[in-house]
Amino acid sequence: MAKRTTSTSGRSSTQKPVERDIIPPGTEVTDGNLFFNRELSWLAFNNRVLQLAEDASVPLMERLKFCAIYARNLDEFFMIRVARLHEQVRNRVARLVPDGTTPGETLDKLHTRILEQARRHNDCVERQLRPALSEKGLRILRMKELDAESRAQVDQRFREQIFPVLTPLAIGLGRHFPYISNLSLSLAVLLRDPVAEEETVARVKVPKEALPRFVPLKGSTAFVPLEEIIAHHLGALFPGMEVLDYGLFRVTRDADFTVSEDAEDLLVAVQTELRQRRFGDVIRLELQAGMSPKLREPLVEALGVEPLQIYEEHGLLDLADLMTLVFTPGFAELRDPPWVPITQPRLRAEGEADGITVMSAMRRGALLVHHPYESFSSSVERFVNEAVEDPDVLAIKQTVYRTSDKSPLVPALIRATESGKQAVCMVELKARFDERTNIQWALALEEAGVHVVYGIPGLKTHAKAILIVRREGERVRHYVHIGTGNYNPKTARLYTDLGLFTTDPDIGADVADLFNFLTGFARPKSFRKLLVAPINMREGLLQEIRRTAAAHSAEHPARIQMKMNALVDPAMIRALYDASRAGVKVELNIRGICCLRPGVAGVSENIRVVSTLGRFLEHSRIYLFERGGETRCYIGSADLMPRNLDHRVEALVPVEEPPLIAQVRDLLDRGLADNTHAWQLEPDGTWLRRAPEGEKRWAQGELMERSLRMAQASSGRPVP
């Protein structure tokens, strides 16, 4: 029977019928009625970030932060995803993605939408935030806005600190076009030699790696962009020449690379690829709006960019650097109220006076910790540090995907080795944009005697796991932490992540097998309880979806709830469509990319998709299945993307204790009920921001309040 579907306008219409057999299992779908474009969906996510920057109800400094995040996100998107699309076009790859779009068509659509977002982004900074912040005392000034005293101060700063760092490079006149590094900001300068009566173009790099991008004026909270100061003093850089014109430009290069599966030495291979990243193809050229053709044309020709790769920007370029201003001291009234994570109540209640440790608390039952509402330092870091000091601990094993340069966890492994314990660290060298940090940690660990493993060349290790092996009498016990986020104390205060602490013997044995898989020459065929990619995770999740669909009935309704960063995998989407057809209520909270199309009659009318953004970055991955009185719940590192399921080592761990399942269900329900910082995905691909129609719900605010109440209840005294 033919079904009604939804038109791109959002209205119901009789389009091509959507039959059940249009997506038979195992068939690659190319029907745009059922799938959204991955890249356009990501752009819609970044648009939601931009909407937070535009939101007048958000404190000014937080809006400035979202402007910087938007710009940084877009930079990475160009370096990886847009670069890949251009490569496909160059190689004449015409493969259709599930929504039926070719790489070239996707680039066209991206260009149009990015230009529109860029206009709004610039308007937000120039017309909203700069004037509003200026009224509050934080000023971003042009040179022409400076008084005589401030200009004299800037002139002195230029002579003493800026001028010595600059290296003007002429273009043309027999000179080779200079190399323009990735994400560098530069001035193109049009010069005239009054003697030879010739014109030429020069390039001056803005050295924001060595100097502040926004130069502070002494005794105030006013700043002048570094490029403004350089532009004002161009005459000093080109003595005897006439400066006819100048304009700013910025280059983005392809930063994507892969390491061969045949690499004999993974460390050397990654180091080599990092050096090559600097010389990737130019993917985007940003130009200051109104740049003279005499400046624009030589740049376009020398950099070899096409019209779709050129973006004219009004106002400041490289707005990711606004993040430095977000941390300007003071202005507390322009920020979110400070949040100090609490200690997980069971750990807080037991205290340390009687010698109770994290591991002894784990022996009483599994623990679930929710960051940043609950402290990373008093749970995960404490867990590892106590293990290092415990004479009965025999071994500590940990994965590292992304960590900070000041992380206390990695030095703890060094102390463990020094105290005679077996310490093993699986360092993922291929963690994009964190490769150098991870290489530095890996070399330091190796020097200290820690057993360092770099993973498997063809697979990234994205799983988050710590294994403590402790001698207890005549046997050993495994203490395990598996999380949804990285072992990074900095991001643990900014990202929402879950971590399970457990001594479950089957989970402990599974994690031991997982580390043997990563460090040795073994490939387990199955696991007792864990779902591990690329071994059994894909089929395990598909089976959970299918069982839930099969168990659904009017008398015993089933439900699927999932929370993740991205939903892309076609097979998983098809399975969710099948569950919806069977009548299962499917509720999805997806922060970023969603290729599933909800609300299509006969296919996905039982599927609801929301996206929550806000003060903290939603990062946890949760998969919950309710059917026939049974609840199956998993948390872990994997999103539902082909790369996670097939090309990475990922781990999902079951949450089995009823109180912990209730805790997970509660945070899922709160996110789905959010009507202040949540967007709902419509059948036409539009994300509509929710607005309160009755009770105002803000999931992150509710979880902060709940955490404070729990801490107060466990301590018996008010928590500040």
pLDDT confidence of residue 172: 65
Asked if 294 contacts 202 with a C-beta cutoff of 8 angstroms, the reply is no
Q: Domain 531-715: what homologous superfamily?
A: Endonuclease Chain A (3.30.870.10)
The two three-digit tokens of residue 651, written as one number: 């781990």
Which stretch of 71-75, 269-273, 310-314, 324-328 has the lowest confidence by average pLDDT? 269-273
φ, ψ for residue 303, nearest 5 deg? -85, -10
User: Coil, strand, or helix at residue 616?
Assistant: coil
What mean pLDDT is predicted for residues 338-346? 93
**What percent of the chain has a predicted confidence (pLDDT) above 70?**
87
Angle in degrees, 0-180, between the axes of helices 103-123 and 60-77, rounded to the nearest 10: 160
Strand partners, 430: none
**What is the band of 446 on the pLDDT scale with cuts at 50, 70, 90?**
confident
DSSP states along 302-335: HHT--GGGEEEESS-S-GGGGHHHHT-S--GGGS
Strand partners, 107: none
The two three-digit tokens of residue 564, written as one number: 């993740």
**What is the band of 327 on the pLDDT scale with cuts at 50, 70, 90?**
very high
Give just the sign of the alpha carbon dihedral 490, 457, 621, 532. Answer: negative
The two three-digit tokens of residue 298, written as one number: 């030589």
DSSP state of 30: -
**What is the band of 523 on the pLDDT scale with cuts at 50, 70, 90?**
confident
Q: Decide: pTM greater than 0.85.
A: yes
531: left (phi over 0), alpha (psi -120 to 50) or beta: beta
What's the CA angle centered on 673, arms 668 and 676, to 5 degrees? Answer: 120
Neighbours of 589 (CB within 10 A): 24
User: Coil, strand, or helix at residue 500?
Assistant: strand
The two three-digit tokens of residue 103, written as one number: 């790489």
Which of 535, 452, 81 shows the shortest CA–CA distance to 266?
452
- CA-to-CA separations, 165 to 162, 178, 208, 211, 397, in angstroms, rounded: 6, 17, 10, 9, 46
431 pLDDT higher than 70: no
**Cα distance between residue 467 and residue 508, in whole Å:** 8
Residues with a catalytic annotation lie at 462
**Cα distance between residue 302 and residue 677, in whole Å:** 45
Torsion from C-alpha of 24, 26, 29, 34, nearest 10 degrees: 60
CATH label, 345-519, candidates 3.30.870.10, 3.30.420.40, 1.20.1250.20, 3.10.105.10: 3.30.870.10
pLDDT confidence of residue 188: 96
The reply to whether domains 345-519 and 531-715 share a CATH topology is yes
**Cα distance between residue 665 and residue 659, in whole Å:** 10
Asked if 695 contacts 630 with a C-beta cutoff of 8 angstroms, the reply is no
Run of H or E residues at 508:
helix 505-519
Strands (E), 178-296: 185-193, 198-205, 214-216, 222-225, 242-253, 282-288
Farthest CA pair distance, the chain:
93
pLDDT confidence of residue 149: 94
Amino acid at 378: S
- Summary mean pLDDT of the chain: 88
For 465-504, write each residue's pLDDT tens digit: 999 999 999 999 999 999 999 888 899 999 999 999 999 9
Amino acid at 266: L
**What percent of the chain has a predicted confidence (pLDDT) above 90?**
70
**Cα distance between residue 528 and residue 507, in whole Å:** 7
Asked if 214 contacts 316 with a C-beta cutoff of 8 angstroms, the reply is no
Asked if 319 contacts 251 with a C-beta cutoff of 8 angstroms, the reply is no
536 pLDDT higher than 80: yes
pLDDT confidence of residue 20: 33
Which stretch of 104-108, 131-135, 179-183 has the lowest confidence by average pLDDT? 179-183
606 pLDDT higher than 60: yes
Residues 6 or more apart whose CB falls under 8 angstroms from that of 445 comprise 410, 413, 414, 425, 427, 452
CATH architecture of the region 106-334? 2-Layer Sandwich (3.30)
Overall residue count recorded for the chain in this entry:
720
**Residue that is written with structure tokens 């490289």 in the block:** 318
Between 161 and 447, whose confidence is greater? 161
**Cα distance between residue 410 and residue 423, in whole Å:** 10
For 618-657, write each residue's pLDDT tens digit: 999 999 999 988 999 999 999 999 999 999 999 999 999 9
* Domain ranges across the chain: 106-334, 345-519, 531-715
Neighbours of 93 (CB within 10 A): 13
**What is the band of 524 on the pLDDT scale with cuts at 50, 70, 90?**
confident
* Helices assigned H by DSSP within 147-189: 148-157
Which of 481, 470, 471, 485 shows the shortest CA–CA distance to 515?
481
pLDDT confidence of residue 411: 82
Asked if 515 contacts 424 with a C-beta cutoff of 8 angstroms, the reply is yes
What's the CA angle centered on 131, arms 129 and 136, to 5 degrees? Answer: 90
**Cα distance between residue 660 and residue 112, in whole Å:** 46
29 pLDDT higher than 50: no
Which of 142, 135, 70, 145 shows the shortest CA–CA distance to 322?
70
pLDDT confidence of residue 449: 75
What mean pLDDT is predicted for residues 451-471? 87
Q: What is the gyration radius of the CA atoms in the chain, in angstroms?
A: 28
Amino acid at 411: P
For 154-207, write each residue's pLDDT tens digit: 999 999 999 999 999 888 655 678 888 899 999 999 999 998 888 999 999 999
φ, ψ for residue 158, nearest 5 deg? -65, -50
The two three-digit tokens of residue 80, written as one number: 């990886």
**Cα distance between residue 713 and residue 348, in whole Å:** 10
Asked if 655 contacts 502 with a C-beta cutoff of 8 angstroms, the reply is no
DSSP state of 462: -
277 pLDDT higher than 60: no
14 pLDDT higher than 50: no
Burial of 635 (0-12, 13-18, 19+ CB in 10 A): buried
**What is the band of 268 on the pLDDT scale with cuts at 50, 70, 90?**
low
